[in-house]
Structure 1
Amino acid sequence: MTDTPPECTHWIGAERRYCRALERLRPYLPGLRCPAHTPAALQGRPEPVPGPGWPATAWTTPSPQSASALFDQRAIASGKRRAAAHTYRTARDAVRATPTRTDTQ
């Protein structure tokens, strides 16, 4: 089994061949590219400056699903959303137990 090193996968149409450069490769959506064949270089633009990356909390933000659960319970409890009888009773009891804005003032 031969282990081929990674190479630039840009197709040079005028020469009817792949670039196949082996040094300073970077991954892009079209594949590995050398500095001469990056998407920015092909468009005649300078390479973008690397930024700080994603913030540390980018994937830990709370989901709006938890807020929508209350609305689902209220829709089930009011009969506007179909549910099994035991689910209806559970949701109705949960909505009754949830304080409203007027209760907390």
Structure 2
Amino acid sequence: MSDQLETIKDYYKRTRRNILEISDADLETGKTHFNIIPRKYCSFKSPYNRRDYYKICFIIGKGTAHYGSHTMYVDRPVLFLPSPNIPYTWECEDDFQEGFSCLFNQEFLM
């Protein structure tokens, strides 16, 4: 298991998402967070980390998912529901990447 832990704040910073409507106070520990983000392109490889948030991805595009000790090639639409406790990464095979990602934290589930 990876020693790294990516936070929601780290995710937004790494992906350079426009989060003008989300303040730093909204991302503080203990506050509910839920966001749906369209996937328009994929020009980066996500880090192989554990996360402190949940992410559900509807992926349209080709690529490789590395999830724990497993590697899966994806060449058709897929719904990916990774556990935040298991490190994973996504490698795009081409520039055509669409779909949606849904981010939420533990507090949202309570």
Report TM bin, short chain.
under 0.3
Larger Rg: 1
Which structure exhibits the higher relative contact order, with contacts defined as CA atoms closer than 8 Å and separated by 6 or more residues? 2
The TM-score with structure 2 as length reference comes to 0.17
The TM-score with structure 1 as length reference comes to 0.17
**Higher helix proportion:** 1
